[in-house]
A = this chain, B = another copy of it.
Amino acid sequence: MTQDWVDTGVFRLPMAAPEDVSSLRELLESGKIKAEEIVGIIAQTEGTGYARGYASLCMQLLLAEYLGITPQAVFDRIPMMMIGLCGGLMSPHYTVFTRSVVANAEPVGSPRLTVGAANTRVLAPEEYGTLTQVKLVAEAVREAIADAGIDSLDDVHCVEVKCPAMTPARLEDAAQRSQSVVSTNLGQASSMSKGASALGIAVALEEIALTELEDGVINRDRRLYTQRGSVSAGGEQSACRVLVMGNSTRSVSPYRVGHGVMADQLDTVGIYSALKAAGLEASGPLTPEQQQRITQVFVNCGADAVTSVRDRRHTIHSDFLSGYAGIVAKAVANAVVASVTGDPMLLASAGNEHQGAPGSNLVAAIVAVDD
């Protein structure tokens, strides 16, 4: 049926600062983006968590104008995933995904990019990092896949989840209700929330059977992981927000998405695999024309999950910046991927709780179809 055709837009926009939403404003003003067609935003903000909140508020204020709703209603409606702290060559930016129904489209002959979103219900702090969260996320991922109109799990190439972080207020709330949480350490509890979310993705994508899991394996059994998911946590979230990217024959988007795995930080073959899966085949250095077709790359970085690469000891956890291994891990992965794609304005996120084998990077690439 003609009403089934959808078009998916991808807009990667630079930010001069966390509060800089001028590029989006221009596109809204010119009509190139319609506010009501935005299905999700993933941003790489510079600075700490406060900059994430600042950027989010500025986007909400802008979209509230165009949607005629409150900033809070914008937050509830559109998943906004802010990944904070840039390291090295990382270039602050945000990616806006849009979706529009296209009447009477011509079939394009190959599966194209489609994006879907879904949320879990609000989680209680005592549910963070538990099998309950695994199941809720798995369910939301399945919903988002359906929302994207993807028929086969093989067509899902990237699942981004923003889950709740533990906060002092939430700890207190649980304590007042006499509920015990997975950890009273904020960082550990938040890490468990990420771990459960990642396992939820793996279950939804059938990389792991739910029956293999129990509470005790979360953030313990490192043999269990998804290879197509990336999770971050934020205190601003009370539910898990899910964004799925995949390909569908019902999409007439000019883009295709694919994924690959870098077995370790030096494995450029994994980058080429992701590009190939997205329709860009190359052996050896890319031409500028090929690089131009790469619209966005999402990398989940795992350098900080291990203490060596190819049997060479590194000091990412013990040297001067030891407290910030995640930032440096992102800097490293961003640089290596950018040395292939030619553009450091890609999304690099750290977090290795059940996201890839320890030390590996997960790469998803969106590539413009070559006509």
Contacts and interface: CB of A to CB of B under 8 A. Distances in A.
Contacts of A51: 48, 50-51, 54
A72 interface: no
A352 B239 CA distance: 35
A280 B17 CA distance: 44
Interface stretch (A32-40, A122-130, A149-157, A323-331): A323-331
Contact of A342 (B14, B310, B338): B310
Contacts of A328: 87-88, 321, 328, 331
A208 interface: no
B92 A313 contact: yes
A345 interface: yes
A86 interface: yes
A265 B335 contact: yes
Interface string A299-336: 00001000111101111101111111001110111011
A312 B329 CA distance: 20
A309 B89 contact: yes
Contact of A312 (B47, B58, B314, B343): B343
A268 B339 contact: yes
A147 interface: no
Contacts of A47: 47-50, 319-320
A49 B318 CA distance: 10
A103 to B, nearest CB: 38
Interface of A: 14, 16-19, 46-51, 53-54, 57-58, 85-92, 168, 265-269, 283-285, 303, 307-310, 312-316, 318-324, 327-329, 331-333, 335-336, 338-339, 342-345
6 contacts: A46-B318, A50-B54, A51-B54, A53-B54, A91-B308, A333-B335
